[in-house]
Amino acid sequence: MTASQDKTFIGGFHAVMAALERSPRPLSIWLANGRRDGRAETLRELAAEHAVPVSSTDMSALDAMLPDVRHQGCIAVYELAGELRESDLPGILARAERPWVLVLDQVQDPHNLGACLRSAAAAGVSAVVAPRKRAAGLTPAVRKVAAGAAERVPFVVVTNIARALERLQAEGYWVVGLDGEAPASLYDTTLPDKLVLVAGGEARGMRERTAHFCDLTVAIPMSSGIESLNVSVATGVALFEARRQRLVVDGTS
């Protein structure tokens, strides 16, 4: 069994359980022969509730399905919408009640991308935008780290980040970049409601061309001696500060 354009594999009990709770759900689930522990039984029960068939096979067959993922003897065959195109973004934002966007400028590590997607979904981001080149895509490793979030938040791949930012600005969005050298603190800045938050890649942060299209940049205050945070950590901090401010505006804090 191999992944096709509209199907892929995700592995790991947490990721597969999360997939069963979301739509679209897995087409089928495979467990390693002999798995009868509590997690396996809970998964079987949940799969039965959603009419998703569960089959068993050798661990070697599961390793062949996901050779680079620690799948824990649990794999789902998943039907996916897949990566979206820049032309899909206006429709996604038009359907959102209070749209806001996360832009990842050349995040290349699959674990970082997966963690960013998970934070974005939890914070309620309308879409995540990333460049097609020199950036991680929606691989099985990314989906496992995202633990179902890759199926919850639209992932839009664009050819040119700067052009995408310019188009969003034309629609009334404000672009706020994360920059450890910025004089303004994230916590002292009132973030706009129509927000595009930009986080840079692991090596150099935001590219100069991307930073040029930011309306403002902010830094996360840190103790002396610490220069920067991992991109997924910094993104999570910024997303939830933005969410906190949005809840304050709603009067639900």
Interatomic CA distance for residues 43 and 32, integer angstroms = 13
pLDDT at 121 over 60: yes
pLDDT at 233 over 80: yes
Query: What is the tens place of the pLDDT at every residue in 178-230?
Result: 998 899 999 999 999 999 999 988 878 889 899 999 999 999 988 766 667 88
Q: Which amino acid is at 224?
A: S
Q: What was the pLDDT predicted at 127?
A: 95
For residue 197, what are its two tokens? 């938050």
| HEC letters along the chain | CCCECCEEEEECHHHHHHHHCCCCCEEEEEEECCCCCHHHHHHHHHHHHCCCCEEEECHHHHHHHCCCCCCCCEEEEEECCCCEEHHHHHHHHHHCCCCCEEEEECCCCHHHHHHHHHHHHHHCCCEEEEECCCCCCCCHHHHHHHCCHHHCCCEEEECCHHHHHHHHHHCCCEEEEECCCCCCEHHHCCCCCCEEEEEEECCCECCHHHHHCCCEEEECCCCCCCCCCCHHHHHHHHHHHHHHHHHHHHCCC
pLDDT at 144 over 80: no
- Give the best-scoring range by mean pLDDT among 24-28, 134-138, 248-252: 134-138
Question: Per-residue confidence at 43, pLDDT binned at 50, 70, 90?
Answer: very high
Question: Token pair 């780290």 is at which residue?
Answer: 145
Q: What was the pLDDT predicted at 82?
A: 72
Q: What was the pLDDT predicted at 3?
A: 47
pLDDT at 251 over 90: no
Interatomic CA distance for residues 249 and 244, integer angstroms = 9
Q: What was the pLDDT predicted at 80?
A: 63
For residue 162, what are its two tokens? 């700067």
Q: What was the pLDDT predicted at 225?
A: 63
pLDDT at 253 over 60: no
pLDDT at 250 over 50: yes
Q: What was the pLDDT predicted at 2?
A: 47
The full set of domains in the chain, from first to last, is: 7-79 (3.30.1330.30), 84-250 (3.40.1280.10)
Q: What was the pLDDT predicted at 24?
A: 65
Q: What was the pLDDT predicted at 7?
A: 67
* Region of poorest pLDDT, from 10-24, 110-124, 167-181: 10-24
Interatomic CA distance for residues 157 and 133, integer angstroms = 9
Question: Token pair 């592995």 is at which residue?
Answer: 11
Mean pLDDT of the chain: 88
**CA-based nearest residue to 214, from 186, 181, 183, 173:** 173
pLDDT at 56 over 50: yes
Tell me what the mean pLDDT of segment 164-183 comes to: 94
